[in-house]
Structures are given as C-alpha cells and as structure tokens.
Amino acid sequence: MNSRRQFLSFLAASPLALRAQDVIANPKDALDIMDFEEAARRNIPIAHWAYMATGVDDDATLHANREGFKKIRLRPRRLVDVSKVDTSIELFGTKWPSPVYISACGSQKAFHADGEIGTARAAKTKNAAQMLSTVSSTSVEDVAAALGRPPWYQMYAPSQWAGVEHMVQRVEAAGCTVMFLTVDVNPGRNTETQKRLSKSDTRNCASCHQATPGSNSTKPMFAGIERGMNSAGSSWEFFDRLRKLTRMKLLIKGIETHEDATLALEHGADGIVVSNHGGRAMDDGRATIEILPEVIEAVHGRFPVLVDGGFRRGSDVFKALALGASAVGIGRPYLWGLGAFGQAGVERVLDIFHAELTLTMRQCGTRSVTEITRAYVV
C-alpha cells in the first residue's frame, strides 16, 4: 500500500504526467495543433477514438509521416522585406487564402454531434477548401448548404457500376466540380490499433451505426446504392471509365510513386494527391513528404500535385510547398479540433496552421507561395 502511494505521488510529480490543467479547455488556449489531441481524446468514446488514431499493422507508416519532416531543414534568406506575406494559392480557378485544405475523413459525427456540418461551418468562416468523404455521416447536399458552396468530393467507388453512375450524378447535381478518387485502400488493410483499443469500449454504439432511412447503409451517400466499395479488382480501366463519365475535375488520391503519377497523367487525371491515407492503408510505406520529390520531378508541372499525411506545423506545410506541392491536406488535426470543441476547434486549427505558415514564410524571406522553392529546404 505504502509503495503504491509512493508510486502514485511519483507519477503526480513527474513532469511527464499530463495534469488536468495542462489539457486545454478553450480553443484559444492552444499553443499548437498537438494541444488539441489530448483535449479531443478525453471527449471521444474510445472506439471512435480508435478509428481516428489507428494506422495499420505496426503503425509504421503513420509514424514515418511525422519522421519524414525531421529529415528536411530550412534555408532562410535574410534582409528581405517580409512586412507583407501572402499565403494564398489558386487551384482549379478558385483562389484560397491558405494552401491548407480539409481532407476527407469519414463518419465525423463519431467525433462531435455536429459532424461534417461543424467542419463545414468552420471551413466557411475561414474560407478553406473542404473535401467530403463518401463515408461521411452527412450528405453532400447538407454539407454544401452549411459550407455555402459545394465541397470537393472524395469518392470510394461503389462496387457496382450502376452505383458509380448514381453517385456521380448525385454529386454533380449538388454542384461539385472537383472529385478525388481514393485508390489506396482497394487491396484491403489491417487496422490493428483500432481493433485493440476498441476492445475496451463495451458500450452499445448502435445509435452511431443505424442505417439512414431508405438505405441499407449507415452512410447517406450510399442511399439507393448497393453495398460494397473499393473493389480489389479495380484497375486503370475503371479510372478510364470514370474519366469518361464526368466532366468534373478528377484527381486520384493515394499515389506513392512516380510511375503511378505518370500513369495518372497519361490517363487524363486532373491532378493527384500524394497520400498514404495518413498511414491507414499499407504499413512500411514511406513518408509522403519523402515521396513528393520523385513525383514532382515526373509530373513536371503538368498538373497539380497535392499532398497529405502527418502535417502538424506551418513549417511542415512550408516544406511541402518548397518541394513543389500545390496544396496540403490535413486529416487528424481538424478532427481533434472538432472532437474537442466542434466548429470553434476546427477554426482554431486552421488559424494556427495559417499563423505558423505565415511566420515560417517570414523567417525564410518568402513573401508569396510562388516564392517558396527548393532553394529554401535541404
């Protein structure tokens, strides 16, 4: 008993122990993005947290994404007038105040009652691009209404072609002009961390997983569509068929090699996202920031190359821009903001990215995104 008490007081005194007062209670208190992680973890049911936090197998790709940034250093230039810095970019004819966009994450009501609507309201306030997932807990029509414009749409291809046509027509009718086909989970995956953590959540979670009316799926975007998606049998032929089906800008999300980047060009894609699904698709993969140079070299400016995976600092965003990325997607950071504080949390996450990127641009002597080149990293 005595030794247990001693152990507990040692823990309490340890600088490593996270005390309640160290966990932010207000989005304004956050000093950086990581401050949202613990605040969100405390709010979210364990099984839902597990779904967000998981990588695959040993979570090696998940960790590699972060480690990749440490291998790249900045080369600042001095005595440049950086009193005015412009972080804006243009993509597909639209000007965005920041290169940081909200990437597709499914089932956001699992993290906050407002779900994708909370995210959309934050994106609207901050004028950020929002990509909506096929497995969202809110329909594309409702998100478009909250966002004040149609979101970018991320497609997990329904297994039957009739379902693909149905989904494309619905998304086009909602006014979407940009669609991303995610291709990195087609072979299947083993979300082991999710499975382990979920075991300790014994609650009945049926309320989160009930089918939407008129559908055999819990996901509104599958209403009227037969179950099943992301067929392991998908090939470039599928992409060609999809390409012919729609006039939306069509990008491929989940490219990890220069060979596939070149194929995407040859098959008429309008761009790609260098992504490993935030380390949630295949293990023992490379950090996306390490993949970027070979892809940029192969593409040679012929279409936009977006990137996501492990971005937590404005300086991470700067590094990707320096290596040639057109825009940078975030996943878990805004989910932490949403889970901890709803819309206000997502807004603060976007603000922190903006403030940190602006500071890094100043420190490096770059006044616009086009001025950020490979000369600023080593």
Among 278, 314, 324, 339, binds ligand FMN (CB under 6 A): 278
Active site amino acids: 277
Among 43, 61, 87, 133, binds ligand FMN (CB under 6 A): 133
Site for ligand FMN in 288-347 (CB under 6 A): 308-311, 329-333, 335
Query: Angle CA(62)–CA(277)–CA(268) in degrees, nearest 5?
Result: 145
Chain mean position to CA 210: 25
CB-based contact 203:274 (threshold 8 Å): no
Q: Least distance to ligand FMN from the beta carbon of 66, Å?
A: 8
CB 177 within 8 A of CB 37: no
- Among the listed residues 87, 130, 137, 154, the single contact to ligand FMN using CB under 6 A: 154
Q: CB of residue 300 vs ligand FMN: minimum separation in angstroms?
A: 24
Asked if residue 116 binds ligand FMN (CB under 6 A), the reply is no
**Cβ distance to ligand FMN smaller for residue 182 or 343:** 182
Nearer to ligand FMN, 133 or 366 (CB): 133
# chain residues binding ligand FMN, by CB under 6 A:
26
Q: Does 151 bind ligand FMN (CB under 6 A)?
A: no
Which residue of the chain is nearest ligand FMN when measured via CB? 331
Shortest Å, Cβ 332 to ligand FMN: 4
User: Which of 30, 33, 52, 146 is the binder for ligand FMN (CB under 6 A)?
Assistant: 52
Q: How far is the CB of 132 from ligand FMN (least distance, A)?
A: 9
Binding flag, residue 130, ligand FMN (CB under 6 A): no
DSSP β-bridge partners for residue 252: 181, 272
- State in angstroms the smallest separation of the CB of 224 from ligand FMN: 19
Q: Which of 109, 249, 253, 319 binds ligand FMN (CB under 6 A)?
A: 253
Stretch that binds ligand FMN, among 19-27, 35-43, 67-75, 100-108 (CB under 6 A): 100-108
Q: Is 97 in the site for ligand FMN (CB under 6 A)?
A: no
**Shortest distance, CB of residue 133 to ligand FMN, whole angstroms?**
3
Give the residue among 124, 66, 25, 30 at the shortest CA–CA distance from 352.
30
Residues in contact with ligand FMN by CB under 6 A are 51-52, 65, 103-106, 133, 135, 154, 182, 253, 275, 277-278, 280, 308-311, 329-333, 335
